[in-house]
Amino acid sequence: MKLPHDMMAQMRAATSKLMGSGPHAATEAIQNALSAAGLMPSAGTATPAPQTTTTPQQRPMQDINPPPANSQAQAKAAQPQPEAPQAQAAPVPPSPVQAAQDFAQDFMARLGVPAGLGQHSFDMPSFEMPNFQPSGIPGFGGPAATRAPLPEGAQFIDGSYANHAGTRAYKLYIPSSYHGQAMPLIVMLHGCTQNPDDFAAGTQMNAVAEEKQCFVVYPAQTQGANSSRCWNWFNAIDQQRGQGEPSLIAGIAQQIIEQYPVNEREVFVAGLSAGGAMAVIVGTLYPELFAGVGVHSGLPFASAQDLPSALSAMKGGAMSKRQAPEGGVPIIVFHGDRDTTVNLRNGEEVIAQAVRGQDATSDSIGGAVPNGHSYTRTTHSQADGSPLGEYWVIHGAGHAWSGGSDSGSYTDGKGPDASREMMRFFTTLG
């Protein structure tokens, strides 16, 4: 959805007030934005009388469950007595003002502001994954309920890293084949509402790492940093080298390198959705540390500066407001063309950023997974044949990790297998 410019400006004002003045002030600003967009009367305007006709310029608000057509006549015939208040007339549809106020309150709730709270930190809500469903449904419902047994000799251990920007826990997978030799490292950034166990179960990256002899580390976003555990890819402080969450993620990778014999020429970062957007940022800011980036259903570098612009970018696609440095690291991108959470145009811009300014050659081929999704794979290479990037458009897929397991959330088992394809791409870069 592309929001009007005036409304976007007003929503930014609401966000600013949220951080400085609490939810009531932000609600007022949102209501002003709705007024500017023609969705409700401005403050001080009398509530308009209900209209009996509908015109293209003004449509009356309706109850989502309207009463039967003859309900009003039945209510009048019943003649309810004062002492029997339960026999009331059919519900009256909310006025445009009330509907707009309800919208504003819902908007505040989606910002992560609990009812009755005053000031609250600015975070990205669950807009990132709006189709989250209760547990018990395969492929959905929060962290994996059970953890698959590890191969004999493998480890999945807890760790923590802290710097001036805060502290983040992580889980590190050490394959059973590790006996002190140098191995590659992949940093995996989960999406909103997920955690390391859930993301590892869904992507099955540990199984791939077991086969390919690779360390995998899963940093964990905290609920204190973001109420929906999204990586804050849309905050200015989290788009800068040496600051915010990029410094924490890079610090975790560096800590693993110091503790284990990691092949420092084979360190990669990948992620899903908010994690994919953050993987782009981290790979862009730390090209000397990361040799490649994997992005699934993510967004381009510095594509938003606040919540309104983040929502706009997710729904309509966005160009980065900051120029990504040329000569960045190679990247592999996956995006479903039925993704209604993060628009496909974002995947197109992610790969465009990677090859912009490069003397690249491109080649596209189509394919299909047996009994699964078809796809179009476009490769971009330098003149000498070395890879710059790959872009996989998965036809019919939505906002979910392609080829993943239903033991984790937000996965699509119809393939292609994004985890294996990312690992294959990364092995060409070492």
Percent of the chain residues past pLDDT 70, beyond the cut: 63
Same domain? 17 vs 164: no
Residues 226, 105, single domain; the answer is no
If asked whether residues 294 and 165 sit together in one domain, one would say yes
- Which pLDDT score, from 0 to 100, does residue 324 have? 60
Looking at the structure, tell me whether residues 214 and 115 fall in a common domain: no
Between 416 and 139, the more confident residue is 416
User: Under a CB-based contact definition with an 8 Å cutoff, are residues 93 and 60 in contact?
Assistant: yes
Contact (Cβ atoms closer than 8 angstroms) between residue 232 and residue 245 = yes
Last residue of a domain, one of 122, 137, 166: 122
Q: Are residues 118 and 246 in the same domain?
A: no
Question: How sure is the predictor about 385, in pLDDT bands with cuts at 50, 70 and 90?
Answer: confident
Residues 277 and 351 in one domain: yes
Note whether 353 and 417 are same-domain residues. yes
**What percentage of the chain carries pLDDT values higher than 90?**
58
Q: How confident is the model at residue 147 (pLDDT cuts 50, 70, 90)?
A: low
Q: Which of 6, 7, 9, 27 is nearest to 17 (CA)?
A: 27
How far is 40 from 47, CA to CA, in rounded Å? 9
Same domain assignment for residues 114 and 247: no
Whether 48 shows a pLDDT value over 90: the answer reads: no
Task: Tell me how far apart the alpha carbons of residues 233 and 273 are, in angstroms, rounded to a whole number.
Answer: 10
Average pLDDT over residues 297-326: 81
| Predicted pLDDT at 113 | 38
Please give the residue that has the higher pLDDT: either 26 or 165.
165
Poorest-confidence range of 144-148, 211-215, 350-354? 144-148
- Tens-place pLDDT, residues 254-282: 999 999 999 999 999 999 999 999 999 99
Residues 79-91 have pLDDT tens digits of 444 444 444 445 5
Residue 136 in tokens: 């018990």
pLDDT at 388: 94
Q: Judge whether residue 188 has pLDDT over 90.
A: yes
In a domain, 303, yes or no: yes
Per DSSP (E only), the strands in 190-249 are: 215-219
What confidence score (pLDDT) does residue 356 get? 85
Nearest to 419 by CA among 256, 272, 230, 260: 272
Is residue 326 predicted with pLDDT exceeding 70?
no
Q: pLDDT band at 337, cuts 50/70/90? A: very high
Rounded Cα distance between 422 and 414, Å, is: 17
Give the DSSP letter of residue 158.
Answer: E
Q: Phi and psi of 270, rounded to 5°?
A: -145, 160
User: What CA–CA distance (Å, rounded) separates 203 from 82?
Assistant: 62
Residues 105 and 201 in one domain: no
Q: Provide the pLDDT confidence category of residue 383 given band limits of 50, 70 and 90.
A: confident
The pLDDT of residue 107 is above 90: no
- Read off the CATH number of the domain in which 171 is found: 3.40.50.1820
Please tell me the pTM assigned to this model: 0.71
Are 173 and 304 in the same domain? yes
List pLDDT tens digits, range 345-371. 999 999 999 888 788 899 999 999 999
Based on the domain organization, do 227 and 117 belong to the same domain?
Answer: no
Domain span at residue 344 reads 155-427
Least confident of 11-15, 40-44, 396-400: 40-44
9-34: pLDDT as tens digits: 555 555 544 444 444 444 454 455 44
Instruction: Count structural domains, the chain.
Output: 2
Asked if residue 200 lies in contact with residue 188, where contact means CB atoms within 8 angstroms, the answer is: yes
Give the Cα-Cα-Cα angle 263, 268, 270 (nearest 5 degrees): 155
In a domain, 64, yes or no: no
Assigned domain for 20 exists: yes
- 65-80 pLDDT, tens digit per residue, is 333 334 344 444 444 4
Under the banding of pLDDT at 50, 70 and 90, the label for residue 6 is: low
Neighbour tally for 173: CB within 10 Å: 24
Residue 352 lies in a domain: yes
**373 lies in some domain:** yes
Pairing type for strands 387-395 and 374-382 reads: antiparallel
Which residues, in sequence order, are CB contacts of 304 under 8 Å at separation 6+? 233, 234, 310, 312, 313, 318
Residue 24 DSSP label: H
Q: Is the pLDDT of residue 109 over 80?
A: no
User: CA-to-CA distance for 140 and 411, rounded, in angstroms?
Assistant: 8
Task: Indicate the average pLDDT of the chain.
Answer: 77
232: closest CA among 284, 306, 285, 293?
306
Q: List the beta strands (DSSP E) in 273-369.
A: 292-296, 331-336, 360-368
Cis amide prior to 416 (ω within 30 degrees): yes
Residue 69 lies in a domain: no
Q: What does the alpha-carbon distance between residue 63 and residue 36 come to, in Å, rounded to a whole number?
A: 24
Q: What mean pLDDT comes out for the span 119-144?
A: 37
Q: How far apart are alpha carbons 5 and 10 in whole angstroms?
A: 9
Average pLDDT for 181-207: 97
Predicted confidence at residue 148, as pLDDT, reads 73
Residue 57 located in a structural domain: no
Whether residues 203 and 339 fall in one domain: yes
CA distance 334 to 350: 10
Note whether residue 50 is domain-resident: no
Distance CA 407, CA 215 (A): 21
Residue 52 CA to residue 49 CA, distance in Å, equals: 9
Tokens 């009463």 correspond to 67
